[in-house]
Amino acid sequence: MAGLRFSLRAILLVGIACGSSFTSPESWAASCCGGGSSSSLIMPKFSRAMVDMSVDMEDYNGFWDSQGDRRPDPEGSDLNQYRINLGYAHRLGSRWQGSVILPYVWNNNEYTGLTSNTQGLGDTTLNLWYEAFDNVTCVWKVRNWADLKPAVYLGGSLTVPTGTSRFDDVSNSFDITGRGFYRLDANQIGRASCRERV
């Protein structure tokens, strides 16, 4: 019974922390124009390959000025971007995997009387991941702190500017489907699966 109380308490604390993160105005992300995919494709430990398709929708309301203050958009503005991300991941070795994500972007915008509907390829993301664990760490009953040891993934993501950016020949900023520059990110993901068998 003590293990059950510990598990419920841990789940409750994680839920409160996550809930407060998403409702806090400081944690809301400001949009950076561009159509890159915001995700990485990571396979389960014993998979050889995987195909993935995901859909994103962004509704922009307001902007940040040069002083860092949030300003509302003009009355009647409606700014939207939709993405379909097609991804493929492949196991490269016992602990290594790579993936590529290719987004297709639709912009549907109305701003101070200007209507713009554009579509095109977004920025491609290339990922390389190292699994820093031998076995899958799936715990059915948490009995001590060692049971909470996460499976750790270390990786890198390279965003390749395959979309249309502000550096290309665009008539306005609403035609943008990419960032226009290469971007290299270092990533670390820790994943723990904690479930209690009833």
Can you give the residue ranges of every domain in the chain?
1-30, 31-194
Q: Cα 187 from chain centroid? A: 12
Q: Residue 24: how many CB atoms within 10 A of its CB?
A: 9
Give the pLDDT confidence score for residue 12 in this predicted structure: 57
Q: What is the pLDDT of residue 172?
A: 77
Structure tokens at 35: 């159509």
pLDDT of residue 116: 85
Cα separation, 154 vs 43, whole angstroms: 13
Q: Are 24 and 45 in contact (CB under 8 A)?
A: no
Helix (H, G, I), strand (E, B) or coil at 8: helix
Residues 80, 88: Cα–Cα separation, whole Å: 26
The alpha-carbon radius of gyration of the chain (Å, integer) is: 21
Q: For 48-68, give one letter per residue: b (16+ CB within 10 A) or e.
A: eebeeeeebeeebeeeeeeee
User: pTM for the full model?
Assistant: 0.68
Does the pLDDT at position 20 exceed 70?
no
> What is residue 25's predicted lDDT score, i.e. its pLDDT?
40
Measured distance CA(137)–CA(150) in Å, rounded: 7
Average pLDDT score over the chain: 78
| Residue pLDDT, tens place only, 100-157 | 999 999 989 888 888 888 899 999 999 999 998 877 666 667 788 777 777 888 999 9
* Interval 13-38 mean pLDDT: 45
How confident is residue 16, by pLDDT bands cut at 50, 70 and 90? Answer: low
